[in-house]
């Protein structure tokens, strides 16, 4: 939460970055979605375009902070970490599908 002349402001959707799949994979990314995993009462953010997701956490602010850090545009190191994490997530999803 930042303040402007002493007036606190909450983050709004415009301030949350769009997924890096827009840059890395040249996809048409949309605003990320927040979902609540009812079985464990935790939150997670994901990209509807590519499926990239954060770790789940009980604290919404922690999930939003992770999303913002993982999808920071213009940083080559972050883009490389994003690629590695996306590939790992895809491998995990493929492994899970084999057992379903």
What tens digit of pLDDT does each residue of 17-45 get?
A: 889 998 888 888 788 999 999 999 999 99
Q: What is the pLDDT of residue 15?
A: 80
74 lies in some domain: yes
**How many Cβ atoms from other residues are within 10 Å of residue 35's Cβ?**
13
Domain of residue 48, residue span? 17-99
Residue 2 placed within a domain: no
Spatial contact of 18 and 31, defined as CB atoms under 8 Å apart: yes
**Residue 11 lies inside a defined structural domain of this protein:** no
In a domain, 51, yes or no: yes
CA 19/CA 68 separation, integer angstroms: 9
Q: Is 6 a member of any domain?
A: no
Residue 55 lies in a domain: yes
Asked if residue 52 is part of any domain, the answer here is yes
Asked whether residue 4 is assigned to any structural domain, the reply reads: no
Number of domains in the chain: 1
pTM of the model: 0.76
The SS3 assignment for 17 reads coil
Rounded Cα distance, 14 and 69, in Å: 15
Question: Residue 50 phi/psi, 5° resolution?
Answer: -115, -15
């Amino acid at each position: 939460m930042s303040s402007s002349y002493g007036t606190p402001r909450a983050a709004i959707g415009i301030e949350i970055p769009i997924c890096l799949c827009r840059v890395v994979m040249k996809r048409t990314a949309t605003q990320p979605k927040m979902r609540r995993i009812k079985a464990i009462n935790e939150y997670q953010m994901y990209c509807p375009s590519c499926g990239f997701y954060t770790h789940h956490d009980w604290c919404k602010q922690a999930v939003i902070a992770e999303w913002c850090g993982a999808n920071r545009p213009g940083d080559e190191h972050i883009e490389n970490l994003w690629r590695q994490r996306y590939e790992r997530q895809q491998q995990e999803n493929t492994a899970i599908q084999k057992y379903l």
